[in-house]
Amino acid sequence: VGVAMRELPAFPFPADHALQPSPLLARARDGRAPIRVRLPYGATAWLVTRYEDARHVLGSPAFGRDPERAGIPEADIARTTPVEITVRTLLSTDPPDHTRLRRFVFRAFTPRRVEGLRAGAERVADRLVDAMVAAGPPADLFETFGLTLPIEVICDLLGVPAADRARFTAWTDALLSTTGKTAEQAAASIDAMNGYLAEQAGRRTRHPTDDLIGALVRERVEGDRLSPAEMVNLLRALLAAGHETTASQIPNFVYLLLRDGGYRRLADEPGLVPTAVEELLRYVPLITQGSLTRFVLEEVELGGVTLRRGDQVLVELAAANRDGTVFPDPEVLEIARGDNPHLAFGFGPHRCLGAALARMELQVALSTLTRRLPGLRLAVPSDEVPWDDDRFVRRPRRLPVTW
């Protein structure tokens, strides 16, 4: 078995550039059937690359996120990270339990509630640009703007004190590292974050608040429908996912816009920002390992291949989002692209709960930067921008800019 496993292609596939999907993904998609791959940790998995197949896996009850339902031990989950970062969170449950947990936080992320946060996000973005301008060029856009904007917004939503916010960046870095941290370091970060959030929840039990942590505490105390462990795990997933992906996408987006000329166009045509955000969401291969692993719960045929209970499946969103049967000229970044049914936020019951929040923050980021700094440009040649290569999500290590 060991020899057979070594003969399988290793995943993630190597790419020539961090923001350009590996050509092996297109080759796999053109084969029109899932292929078997081996991952750095855990077991082997089927890799799904076609748009139609991706939507089926993400939306069908034949595929789940709870490994126990498929009889898979936690250590055997196919993954690129030393530990499975979503175990015992909202992201690792299936309906009906997933539906119950999701309901507790859905109200915080409705489009109307998120739109109410836009003015505050715009104030944060303007303040960050003010600080950049005051310090003068060059600047690291990732550190001074991209990282700070989403963490301030999500921490305001949850009610995390400003003085504690830097700690979450370090904890999340350890959780999402694919090679730079050990399993013990990642587990220690989970424990530290859990302890901190439990402490914050305890304070709200004694002194109620109107933030999201306070709202979840009320659900637990008054409704007795949310266990203390469930509440802490929910908060940890929201806090990590609520800032990490957007903090990575802001510099990813700006890099591509500056490299390919779209930034100047947005400065001249600000009404294109929402459309540009959708196209960049489609175009950027954010996750390094496809989507979160799905587990086959009942025998099913997919792309002419029979998948059996206990098999594991990775949906490669970057490949699905460049499927030419759905997106004309899929390799072209067209910021005025019209119909754009991309899968950047997933699909089905696990579709990203914070999609509206992420869209709003990305729109605010691009609108503010192009309005305040229309002459922004890279401070180094585009091929000299350094990239993090040991993370669950793709992003530059630094994004040097000037104006």
DSSP state of 137: S
Q: Examine residue 96 and say whether the peptide bond preceding it is cis (omega within 30 degrees of 0).
A: yes
Asked if residue 138 has a cis previous peptide bond (ω within 30° of 0), the answer is: yes
Peptide bond into 40 cis (omega under 30): no
Residue 228 confidence (pLDDT): 82
**Domain at 393, CATH number:** 1.10.630.10
Paired with 401 in beta bridges are: 139, 378
pLDDT at residue 94, rounded to an integer: 87
Res 246: pLDDT:
92
- Number of domains observed in the structure of the chain: 1
Q: According to the model, what pLDDT value does residue 358 have?
A: 93
Residue 330 has a pLDDT of 97
35 CB-near residues (< 8 Å, 6+ apart): 9, 28, 46, 47
Residue 6's pLDDT is what? Answer: 61
Residue with tokens 């910021």: 335
pLDDT at 35: 96
Other residues' Cβ atoms within 10 Å of the Cβ of residue 108:
19
For the chain, which residues score pLDDT lower than 50?
1-3
pLDDT the model gives residue 220: 67
Collapsing DSSP states into helix, strand and coil, what is residue 251?
helix
Cβ within 8 Å of residue 225, ≥6 positions away: 100, 104, 219
pLDDT value at position 177? 55
Confidence (pLDDT) at 173: 67
39 sits in the region (left: phi over 0; alpha: psi -120 to 50; else beta) called beta
Residues 6+ apart with CB under 8 A from 166: none
The two tokens of residue 227 are 């266990």
Q: Is 25 helix (H, G, I), strand (E, B) or coil?
A: helix
Q: Could you report the per-residue pLDDT of 142-192, keeping only the tens digit for each?
A: 999 998 899 888 888 888 887 887 787 777 766 655 555 667 777 788 888
Residue 286 domain boundaries: 2-402
Number of H helices, E strands in the chain: 16, 10
Residue count (the chain) = 403
Q: What is the pLDDT of residue 175?
A: 62
